[in-house]
Amino acid sequence: MLTASFIFRALLSGVIIAAIAWIGRRNAAAAALVASLPLVSLLGIVWLWHDTGDRGRLADHMQATFWYVLPSLPMFLVTPMMLRSGVNFWVALMAGCALTVLLYLLTIPLAAKFGIKL
């Protein structure tokens, strides 16, 4: 069942994404700056705190977010490189996403070796 809280959260998240696309039509660097801000992460953190008030869960969530951001970063280098080389947009995007998934799968066992549970 959709609650008013869920609908509000979904609409707010959608507005952020739409704003990034709108800003990007005018200034790619400004849109990139807004997109790079951890707005969605911060909203998720606030909502998780509001819903649970669980410090341990929130701390685990924030730490895992840090570790999952790292393997996602190469996508933002590989995809533009492919686009500049003439690769089709969808192919470049899917390759960047596939690279990210692969790096996520490698990150989980690697982090575990250092005692980090993801």
Q: What is the pTM of this model?
A: 0.77
| pLDDT tens-digit readout, 54-109 | 999 999 999 999 999 999 999 999 999 999 999 999 999 999 999 999 999 999 99
Taking the domains of the chain in order of start, what are their residue ranges? Answer: 54-118
Contact 96, 75 (CB under 8 A): yes
Q: How far is CA 111 from CA 9, 37, 54, 107, in A?
A: 31, 25, 24, 6
Angle, CA 88 vertex, CA 82 and CA 91 arms, to 5°: 80
Smallest CA-to-CA distance from 82 within 97, 103, 101 is with: 97
